[in-house]
Amino acid sequence: MLVKKHKNKKDRGLILLELVVALGIFLAVMTIGMGAVLAMYGLNKKSQSLKLVMTNLNFAVESMAREIVVGTDYRCDDSGTDRRTSSVTRPPSHAATCWRHTPVA
């Protein structure tokens, strides 16, 4: 005889309901997992952009510090511009400030 009779209920294999439940559990776990992966991807992008901003800011501050250290001919007074031989780049404030003297070519 080709049809085999099973001795007990456990030997019959999986039924459709068990497969549907297992598939549902698998899909729920994968959905939660993908949500976590996408959240980590977004955090990684934000972290990279923040690192880029910090790197650029560090470069700007170091460039300014280097320019201040090796710069020459700084002037500190309240007169504004030296009209004889130079143009002066200085902030638009009324207090006495220091700026770098730039000779006119």
Q: What is the pLDDT of residue 73?
A: 72
pLDDT, one tens digit per residue, over 70-82 is: 877 766 665 555 5
At 101, the pLDDT band (50, 70, 90 cuts) reads low
**Listed residue (90, 91, 92) closest to 100, CA to CA:** 90
Let me know: does 29 contact 23? Beta carbons within 8 Å.
no
For residue 11, the 8-state DSSP code is G
pLDDT, one tens digit per residue, over 24-44 is: 999 999 999 999 999 999 999
Name the residue ranges covered by the structural domains of the chain: 16-71, 72-105
Let me know: does 71 contact 86? Beta carbons within 8 Å.
no
Let me know: does 98 contact 92? Beta carbons within 8 Å.
no
Q: What is the pLDDT of residue 83?
A: 47
- In our burial notation (b when 16+ CB lie closer than 10 A, e otherwise), range 76-103 reads eeeeeeeeeeeeeeeeeeeeeeeeebee
Q: What is the pLDDT of residue 70?
A: 82
